[in-house]
Structure 1
């Protein structure tokens, strides 16, 4: 009995210690989560007088949504950035990998309907569709042009954002100087087949028995499959695409680095951070069937704005070869396709210096 009481006492101490430690971690995370953004400063740490650094609310399609706006000079060209996912805002990742782009543009990082700081459990599920997102993008583009005194703005989309961006620019070319697509989505159903076969080949090449077994057990969803089938499929397939260097970045083999960036981001409140994954799952669940079933080869053969596509040669989330095929058949007043030899899905983060140089050059040419 004495031994039992002693063991129970030790267990109680350990449990109390664990609780105190977890409570401490929550407090630290809370303190790191004020929901504000730092001012833009010069080399001496002084605020740049014509800069802009703000977190703002805007109503789009009758729903309040969040913008993070940052730029060293508010008179510079305005760039609306459309994040990937669906439902995965990228501001925090760009701030860690490519904040320099804010020197050349007023960067508007829009946290889309149902994502990140724009997530709410009250969002009508019926509003989570591609047409509504295109409408939101149009409305926001008009607001930004008016606010910053511009005739037009530039639009940049990454991954899911590239699908949303090119469709919006196609429907409303009068709003945009240029369209920049990164990790271009064009026929994602076909892309997923390419991605899966590549992952299987890599598993065999690396003699990875776990990967061979896991990928071999997957049943590729048919073209009419609903969200549930894809939500079961994608986490496993993406795990190995990332492991073999074809995912978010070529070097990133797991999601932990992104999680750490999220936890450190002061622009997000504690609640924002807790909701980030939930919002991503919510958005993917409702939007993924449209992503899969949209085929730009059939829907877009020409654009009325300049089109510039940036693709990592190691990208197997939105496969390089498929994006190049789409680009080759596309007509536009000006167009160019840029291959990034050391990148997977995110050349704007992996080779940011070259990426920024090209974007700045093409933006200046178009204005």
Structure 2
């Protein structure tokens, strides 16, 4: 009997272990191939990752580009705790024209891994704006450039807009993408649109479950807790008319196969998503960009997917029309939803080269 039990246990362990081993093998191959395909080999290129002392703690930044004299493009990630460093391989073509900087903010990604939750200290949007200004000052000195281009995505726009307004002299331009404006209005409209899409799908079991889940949380986002917000986000992404659940699938696939992320880093990426979301929930739900002011002293560009169901395209464009800036332009990314920079990186790059990069040329005096 004992021998039979041992054999049965061994077989069960083998059955469980086999797909795990296969998955790890697939991950290793993907990481190796991606690392080779994205290697920087130019004479004046730069490929660095380091921890920098920012806001009293060590924070991770990655710097990549084919020519360190190219203009610097600092990326502010969304989430609010979902670092975009996992998307670096998708932006390889950008690195021919910009030195692209990824930064894992406090409470997220490798910065969370370095410090732990207790060591990350204060977690507020205002603290992150101050941190971002320190990162820019570091980049100016380290890369010997007077200004940078600021690219903020999704909840990164909650930090980016405030930074561009407070410290315009640091930037050639501010580029917002997947832009949040008035969170309560965005979530209320997004809820109605999501429920309409679900109901239009028919009467299947999955549809009934989705309708019931959305009806339970109700249409008023001012009454939601973080769990209710998660329900709305889940069904908004699942019913994306361009690529159902495409944003989440893209993020998960890139997290799990990133050549720059160990399994420990992956674990911190996931834990940082939840930690930052929970800590910042009340603050980001109260955000309204209009309260910051509508006059920017830096060129302002909105790059928006034309069918974004998370940061609603119509609301972002309405806000953009109200803004005043020395130069501004709206770039619609066709057939794209949330994460349009990463689902349509070549089209996004064309917009950057057309509108933004010319502003980074050295100014000559007559």
DSSP-derived class of the 1:150 partner: coil
**In the superposition, relative to structure 1, how do residues 52 and 39 fare at CA in structure 2: closer, same or farther (>3 Å)?**
farther
**In the superposition, relative to structure 1, how do residues 22 and 62 fare at CA in structure 2: closer, same or farther (>3 Å)?**
farther
User: 1:214 aligned to 2:209?
Assistant: no
Displacement of 1:348 in angstroms is: 1.1
> Is the contact between residue 41 and residue 48 of structure 1 (CA under 8 Å) also seen in structure 2?
no
Displacement of 1:342 in angstroms is: 0.5
| Structure 2 residues not aligned, in runs of 5+ | 361-366
CA distance in 2, matches of 1:275, 1:123: 14
1:261-280 alignment to 2 at 5 Å? Answer: 261-280=254-273
User: 1:183 aligned to 2:182?
Assistant: no
**In the superposition, relative to structure 1, how do residues 297 and 57 fare at CA in structure 2: closer, same or farther (>3 Å)?**
same
> Is the contact between residue 65 and residue 112 of structure 1 (CA under 8 Å) also seen in structure 2?
yes
Displacement of 1:252 in angstroms is: 3.8
Aligned residues: 352
Displacement of 1:29 in angstroms is: 8.4
Question: In structure 2, what is the equivalent of residue 346 of structure 1?
Answer: 339
1:64-143 alignment to 2 at 5 Å? Answer: 64-95=58-89, 97-119=90-112, 120-124=115-119, 127-143=122-138
> Is the contact between residue 188 and residue 221 of structure 2 (CA under 8 Å) also seen in structure 1?
no
> Is the contact between residue 312 and residue 341 of structure 1 (CA under 8 Å) also seen in structure 2?
yes
CA distance in 1, matches of 2:49, 2:5: 50
**In the superposition, relative to structure 1, how do residues 308 and 17 fare at CA in structure 2: closer, same or farther (>3 Å)?**
same
User: 1:234 aligned to 2:234?
Assistant: no
> Is the contact between residue 38 and residue 92 of structure 2 (CA under 8 Å) also seen in structure 1?
no
CA distance in 1, matches of 2:130, 2:226: 26
User: 1:48 aligned to 2:42?
Assistant: yes
**In the superposition, relative to structure 1, how do residues 188 and 40 fare at CA in structure 2: closer, same or farther (>3 Å)?**
same
CA distance in 2, matches of 1:272, 1:218: 33
User: 1:298 aligned to 2:257?
Assistant: no
CA distance in 1, matches of 2:35, 2:336: 29
Question: In structure 1, what is the equivalent of residue 364 of structure 2?
Answer: none
1:195-206 alignment to 2 at 5 Å? Answer: 195-206=190-201
Q: Which moved more, 1:24-33 or 1:285-294?
A: 24-33
DSSP-derived class of the 2:225 partner: helix
Which residue of 31, 54, 57 maps to 2:51? 57
Which residue of 2, 5, 10 maps to 1:8? 5
Which residue of 142, 148, 156 maps to 1:153? 148
Question: In structure 2, what is the equivalent of residue 308 of structure 1?
Answer: 301
Q: How big is the alpha-carbon RMSD for the aligned residues of Structure 1 and Structure 2?
A: 2.6
Displacement of 1:217 in angstroms is: 1.9
> Is the contact between residue 40 and residue 51 of structure 1 (CA under 8 Å) also seen in structure 2?
no
> Is the contact between residue 306 and residue 313 of structure 2 (CA under 8 Å) also seen in structure 1?
yes
1:323-342 alignment to 2 at 5 Å? Answer: 323-342=316-335
CA distance in 1, matches of 2:78, 2:91: 16
CA distance in 1, matches of 2:127, 2:71: 26
> Is the contact between residue 247 and residue 338 of structure 2 (CA under 8 Å) also seen in structure 1?
no
Normalising to structure 2: TM-score of the pair?
Answer: 0.88
> Is the contact between residue 27 and residue 256 of structure 2 (CA under 8 Å) also seen in structure 1?
no
CA distance in 1, matches of 2:308, 2:35: 31
| Structure 1 residues not aligned, in runs of 5+ | none
Q: Which has the higher helix share?
A: 2
Displacement of 1:121 in angstroms is: 2.2
DSSP-derived class of the 2:116 partner: coil
Displacement of 1:66 in angstroms is: 0.6
Normalising to structure 1: TM-score of the pair?
Answer: 0.87
**In the superposition, relative to structure 1, how do residues 277 and 156 fare at CA in structure 2: closer, same or farther (>3 Å)?**
same
1:180-212 CA-to-partner distances (Å, cap 9, x unmatched) read 000111111111111111000101111132322
Displacement of 1:55 in angstroms is: 1.3
> Is the contact between residue 347 and residue 355 of structure 1 (CA under 8 Å) also seen in structure 2?
yes
CA distance in 2, matches of 1:299, 1:344: 26
